[in-house]
Amino acid sequence: MTHYHFIGVCGAGMSAIAGYLLARGNSVSGSDRSHSTESDRLSTLGLQFHAPQSLKTVEQLAPTHLIRSAAVPETNVECTYHAAKHYRRGAFLAELCNAHGKSIAICGTHGKGTTSGYLVSILSQRKQSYSYILGAKLKRDATNYRYEDEGELVVEVDESDRTHRLHRPHLLIINNLEADHLNEYGTLEALVDDFATLARNTIAAKGHVILHIDGDGATQLDEKLADLTAADGLMRLCWQGQNPRANFIARKNTKFTIEIIEATSSQSLFAIQTQLPGIANQKNAAMAALCAHQLGVARATIEAGILAFEGMYDRLECHHGTAGTEVYTDYASHPTCIDNDLRALRRPDRRILAIFHPYRPSLMRYHWRRLISALSLADEVILLPLDLCGETPITGINAPEMARQITETGTLASVRSIEAIEEYLSKIATKSMTIVVFAGGYLFQRIKQATGCR
């Protein structure tokens, strides 16, 4: 009998696949370093969970398929088990999706999770079957997966380890493209080349591609794919401006309303209104709406689905502290995201404190000036010490130097430990303060506890 075992199952992307397989009726087990609320949730769904990780336990389970998280090294003791098939998470996801036949792969440097969420919201309004596997939980459903045996499969696809190249979806969405994961790619050009290959392979497999020409990398990708048109299966969306190859144009009408028009005829396809603040969310909504349009979803359904979307956990998610403080958690580190968030949250009656955890010296060096510019939009910035993530230190690329240069722009900046941040917040948090945390799960939890968030 087929049995799937996930090493590092409590990670957001891993738990989504495990939950999907459990809902499909498969035999699934998983392990992690310790028990958690996520392991408890998965166990109630039927997952056979164990912690800590143990080769002996895996041998007793005798899985046919072994899937490891990208965060789990090959030296992990459970990786030595000789299953019939071994996968990295991304490679297994690609195989799962390619076998589906109606997969919709949503990719891009940032915003792919929210774009996926918007599309799921639209499909839920359609009242037909659909499934999804996401890297974050939808606030509406409080889950990151759904399985039904018919309809489309919406998948958030990560490009960090190049396994996105293995996908051959029915519809590929490239939401934007900017420099990221430089530890893997080295240069933006290499990242662009990978996406060009993915787009061409998708079209060769009779799939279709929608490219949002947004970001330096997306502009380069558009040029690399200049020989492909809508007749070949490549459609292009241009935000606000003009592009001679664009098939669709997204135009901002009001603070929360965007209109999508067909470029050649200037026909208005739909006008969508979002609940969520900021231009980034509008762009994500526009791509999801255009994707749904290509799937044949009715205009009214698209507009209703976009408006109904409440967001995702830790994607510019708002929490309320006991002192009336607003705390936003956003799993983001790219300067474009930071800039978008801080501009969206700016109000004359509130002071913004940004908390940022810099990581990977190679990535920080590439985006150094843009990060300083984006973070300086806050009234105050607190940095945690730079996380090397296994990289070699780079002279001049560190948290104290970043704080010094932010302070030179006129924005107060400091470097503090998480314990010092908690103590500081207990003294200064007020109802006129907005705190925006750009980091990951453990820091989100600590900041929410320090501010008494419900």
pLDDT value of residue 240:
82
Task: Give the residue from 194, 253, 436 showing the smallest Cα distance to 337.
Answer: 436
Query: How far does the chain reach from its first CA to its final CA, in angstroms?
Result: 44
Which of 231, 228, 279 has the alpha carbon at shortest distance from 252?
279
**Number of other residues whose CB lies within 10 A of the CB of residue 292:** 26
Cα(440)–Cα(372) distance, integer angstroms: 20
The residue type found at 325 is: T
3-state secondary structure 5-38: EEECCCCHHHHHHHHHHHHHCCEEEEECCCCCHH
pLDDT for res 242: 77
Both tokens of residue 281?
């969310």
Structure tokens at 278: 């900021």
- Which residues, including other chains, have CB under 8 Å from residue 270's CB and lie 6 or more apart? 259, 260, 289, 293, 299, 302, 303
DSSP secondary structure, 348-407, as one string: TT-EEEEEE--B-HHHHHHTHHHHHHHHTTSSEEEEPPPB-TTPPP-TT-SHHHHHHHHH
In this prediction, residue 232 carries a pLDDT of 98
Mean pLDDT per block of 10 residues along the chain (454 residues) reads 97 96 98 96 97 96 96 93 94 97 95 96 96 96 96 97 97 94 94 97 98 92 97 95 90 81 92 91 95 96 97 95 94 94 95 96 96 98 96 97 98 97 93 93 92 90
Contact 191/217 with Cβ under 8 angstroms? Answer: yes
DSSP strands (E only) in 208-356:
208-212, 234-239, 248-252, 257-262, 268-273, 315-320, 326-330, 351-356
Query: How much of the chain is in helix, strand and coil states, percent to nearest 5?
Result: 40, 25, 40
CA distance 70 to 278: 31
- Cα–Cα distance for residue pair 65/86, rounded to 1 Å: 6
- Res 441: pLDDT: 76
What are the structural domains of the chain? 3-88 (3.40.50.720), 100-308 (3.40.1190.10), 315-450 (3.90.190.20)
d(CA 125, CA 297): 10
Q: What is the pTM of this model?
A: 0.96
Buried b (16+ CB within 10 A) or exposed e, 158-180: bbeebbbbbbbbbbbbbbbbbbb
Backbone angles phi, psi at 199, to 5 degrees: -60, -45
- Cis peptide upstream of residue 52 (ω within 30 degrees of 0): yes
Q: What type of residue sits at position 129?
A: S
pLDDT reported for residue 255? 64
Give the strand order in the sheet containing 412-415: 315-320, 326-330, 433-438, 351-356, 380-383, 412-415
